[in-house]
Amino acid sequence: MIKQKKQGNLIIISGTSCAGKGTVINELLKRNQNLTLSISYTSRKMRAGETEGVEYKFVSLNEFERKIANDELLEYVNYSANYYGTGKKEIKELLDQGKDVILEIEVRGAQKVKEMFPETILIFIMAPSMEEVKRRIKARGKENNEQIIKRFQTAYNEINEIPKYNYVVVNDEIKKAVEKIEAILLSEKCRVERIEEIAVESQEEIIHEFLINKEFDNSPLYQDKLD
């Protein structure tokens, strides 16, 4: 009876440092065939072990700035003298195919996309506590105290932006966090505004008319049709 829109859903997943966004997204992709991850463009150089079109789509600085000038990007940021951004055309093609697309981007980019696509689903992932964030950062052993403090400052600023999101998921356990996001996506598909039309088959119409008629005037109208 219910026909859902073919258009896929655009899903943004953001979160604080060491919240486990990447791990959660990878698990979601393994468990859900209709989910796909958007690959961002970047102007930075490819690093050892990276593959074109896997971590990023690597382009020159001039090419990236051309994309900006031609309004080919949903959002972009300049971080450490390098650009990172999401292509409009690629996202639209995936959504038109009925694919649900995940964007793993930071808070500012999320708001830009939401302005252009109001139906975008915004999910914010958090670690159980800032103490746990501190433990995870130190466990990596890649940052000094100054860098750790900077990460904490950024994390607190990002947490203040949570009211702009639709959902918040605490990643205390990967499996549970993934299941929560799957429940969110399922409930979003059931939203009335995502239904294209409600069709009633002819036999159902006959039954409906018969039952109403029988209830209100006890008439056997349409009984021969049902038989």
Instruction: Return the CATH number at 106.
Output: 3.40.50.300
Residue 174 domain flag? yes
In a domain, 102, yes or no: yes
pLDDT average, residue stretch 138-149 = 79
Asked whether 177 and 24 are in contact (CB, 8 A), the reply is yes
Q: Is residue 218 part of a domain?
A: no
Q: Which of 126, 125, 148 is nearest to 137 (CA)?
A: 148
Under the banding of pLDDT at 50, 70 and 90, the label for residue 2 is low
Q: Is residue 112 part of a domain?
A: yes
Total domains, the chain: 1
pLDDT band of 17, cuts 50, 70, 90: confident
pLDDT tens digits, 55-69: 999 999 999 999 999
- Whether 213 is in a domain gets the answer no
133 falls within a domain: yes
Instruction: Express each pLDDT in 169-196 by its tens digit.
Output: 999 999 999 999 999 999 998 888 777 6
Element (H, E) at 182: helix 174-189
Residue 121 · residue 9 · CB < 8 Å: yes
d(CA 221, CA 57): 66
Give mean pLDDT, residues 73-97.
Answer: 93
Domain contains 155? yes
Domain that holds residue 25: 2-190
CA angle 18, 24, 29 (to 5 degrees): 145
Q: What value does the mean pLDDT take over residues 105-120? A: 91
Confidence at residue 191, expressed as pLDDT on a 0 to 100 scale: 84
Q: Which pTM does this prediction carry?
A: 0.81
Compute φ and ψ for 196, nearest 5 degrees.
Answer: -80, -45
Residue 135, pLDDT score: 83
Instruction: Answer yes or no: is 114 within a domain.
Output: yes
